[in-house]
Amino acid sequence: MPVHYMTYKGVKFPPAYNSEQSLSFTHNEFLVQDDDIFNVTYPKCTKAGAVWMTEILSLIHSHSCPIWSQTIPSSDCMPSFSTHLGLESGLSYPLPRLLTCHLPRHSCPKSFSHSSTKVVYTLWDPRDVVVSSSYFSKMCSSYEDPTSFEQFLRDFLNGEHECGLGLTWGTGVGGW
């Protein structure tokens, strides 16, 4: 079944997680605090280390107390603030906030430029990302099932597949 992606600022997003309203609020109104810590990975590629880094940053934040990261879902430990649910969590999260972001730099909050927030950018080898993303797309109903790995790879290289949100690897990573 085809998935109809929404587009915001020239970038494709799966509608199950994002809306124009949440993305617009994130970009134009979300206030970044100086003590926020952002866990950023390649645009919406869930297989690019976000969960790994969430665990690491959660342990640092909780002073190596594993109970916090073991009893609270990672989506609550570090909400992805540009999604419907993550935005609500991110706004009410106590300071210092740990937030996850899969957005390209040009779609992030405008207030980024005027803050001294910390950004941890996790970068994986694009070959690992494309293989993992291809398998993930087959499992997740929010993404179109790739017709073949070869087509998925072509789309990835051209910035035309859903995990890349309409960005080439260099453009998505280069903005940071």
Catalytic residues: 102
CA distance 2 to 118: 38
Residue 55 neighbours by CB distance under 10 Å: 16
Backbone angles phi and psi of 69, in degrees to 5: -75, -20
Residue 100 CB contacts under 8 Å (≥ 6 apart), including other chains: 38, 39, 40, 41, 50, 54, 78, 79, 80, 81, 86
How far apart (Å, rounded) are the C-alpha atoms in residues 90 and 97? 7
